[in-house]
């Protein structure tokens, strides 16, 4: 019997600094997706507030409110919820991906390691210090955020940690959305895993157009489904057993030269 996981990627234009408006928008879109028991809802990067640098600390002050909202969504639909937000840390504010289970409890947090210096993330956020995976209904989920996709060693580390699916929250610009799609496919192919990446769309409030294109890719690199540039929900049912099937039928990971390249 195959093991299915239903993924719901919620893509919308995030309004900078307007937490209530963003949470209300997301709630309405989640409702339209009608998530079922045990499914996973994936939200974009910095989904409650966008990159509202003007008052980032205030956005981070709302962490508990946002997590309570995530818990309420999770409990209502019996689903997991994942997405990134601003979180206070002892040395500053982190861009943190949070995963809650269907009871509303936090099961994993990941602070973004690779900060996108072109957009001054390194001037406003403190970087994470390690990767993170989450146990989810008998499988392992890896966590990543946007710019992390450009670094193959990160997804390889998640693979080595047992991840069969990597969830990515993103705010990837329209100008480089082809890179976004290519990186998702390549990271999935080279690690023979599923990658689900949820991007935002529309104008970011500072004149930058975000690319949408939220995508789910399978372990052979096949695109399971992809959105365009408009606000929409992408629902994809994946067969988790496909990962082991691909790895057994084409076992490239087994012949890695660890003696030369290490882990």
Report, as residue numbers or ranges, the catalytic residues: 45, 112, 146
By the 10 Å C-beta count (0-12 exposed, 13-18 middle, 19+ buried), 54 is classed as exposed
CB 252 within 8 A of CB 192: yes
Distance CA 49, CA 101 (A): 22
Query: Alpha carbon 22 to chain centroid distance?
Result: 17
| Start-to-end C-alpha separation, the chain | 33
- CA 139 from centre of chain: 16
Give the residue from 137, 109, 182, 108 showing the smallest Cα distance to 6: 137
CA 138/CA 80 separation, integer angstroms = 14
- What is the token pair recorded at 226? 């992809």
Residues 6+ apart with CB under 8 A from 191: 155, 156, 158, 159, 219, 253
Work out the number of other CB atoms within 10 angstroms of the CB of residue 247: 17
Match 């403190």 to its residue by tokens: 126
Q: Is 18 helix (H, G, I), strand (E, B) or coil?
A: coil
């Amino acid at each position: 019997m195959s093991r299915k996981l239903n993924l719901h990627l919620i893509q919308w234009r995030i309004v900078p600094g307007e937490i209530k408006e963003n949470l209300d928008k997301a709630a309405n879109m989640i409702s339209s997706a009608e998530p079922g028991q045990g499914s996973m809802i994936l939200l974009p990067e910095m989904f409650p507030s966008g990159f509202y640098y003007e008052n980032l600390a205030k956005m981070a002050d709302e962490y508990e409110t946002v997590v309570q909202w995530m818990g309420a969504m999770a409990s209502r639909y019996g689903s997991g919820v994942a997405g990134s937000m601003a979180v206070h840390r002892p040395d500053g504010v982190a861009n943190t991906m949070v995963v809650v289970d269907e009871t509303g409890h936090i099961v994993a947090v990941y602070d973004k390691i690779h900060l996108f210096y072109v957009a001054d993330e390194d001037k406003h956020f403190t970087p994470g210090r390690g990767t993170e995976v989450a146990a989810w209904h008998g499988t392992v989920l890896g966590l990543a955020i946007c710019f992390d996709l450009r670094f193959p060693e990160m997804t390889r580390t998640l693979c080595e940690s047992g991840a069969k699916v990597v969830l990515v929250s993103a705010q990837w610009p329209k100008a480089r959305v082809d890179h976004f799609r290519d990186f998702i496919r390549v990271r999935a192919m080279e690690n023979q895993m599923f990658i689900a990446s949820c991007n935002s769309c529309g104008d970011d409030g500072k004149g930058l157009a975000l690319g949408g294109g939220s995508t789910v890719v399978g372990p052979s690199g096949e695109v399971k489904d992809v959105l365009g540039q408009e606000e929409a929900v992408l629902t994809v049912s994946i067969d988790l057993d496909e990962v082991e099937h691909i790895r057994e039928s084409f076992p490239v990971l087994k012949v890695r030269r660890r003696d030369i390249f290490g882990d």
